[in-house]
Amino acid sequence: MLTLLGEMALAAFMLTSFGLMPTSRIRQVESFQVVMQLLALPMFFLAGAIFPLTGLPRWLSLLTKIEPLAYAVGPMRQAIFAHVAVAGLLLLGVAIVRFAKTG
């Protein structure tokens, strides 16, 4: 749990830093939200937090390699799954395979 909390703190610091770089030049408060959503949503989807990063087209896998949040999601996932029982991992794998076949 401490490993996960440390990783989440580092990821939050990284995302805050990346958010402050472009938005520090914005003069209108209304533009801040637009710029943050323009940066945050692609980073979230390209990080592999929701969808696995395996089997992607080449151009998309190249984008995930330069996306910094992807390097934070992997260690967080490992910290969580290091303490999950093998039976739970097998059930998760079966659910993922079934979802991939139907979707």
Summarize pLDDT for 5-28 with one digit per residue, the tens. 888 898 888 888 877 787 788 888
* 27-63 pLDDT tens trace: 887 777 887 788 778 888 888 877 778 888 899 888 8
Check residue 8 and give its pLDDT.
86
**What total of structural domains would you count in the chain?**
1
pTM across the whole model: 0.60
Read off the tokens for 101: 């076949």
Confidence band for 101, pLDDT divided at 50, 70 and 90: low
Q: 55: domain range? A: 2-102
Query: Comparing 32 with 97, which gets the higher pLDDT?
Result: 32
Q: Is pLDDT at 103 greater than 60 in this prediction?
A: no
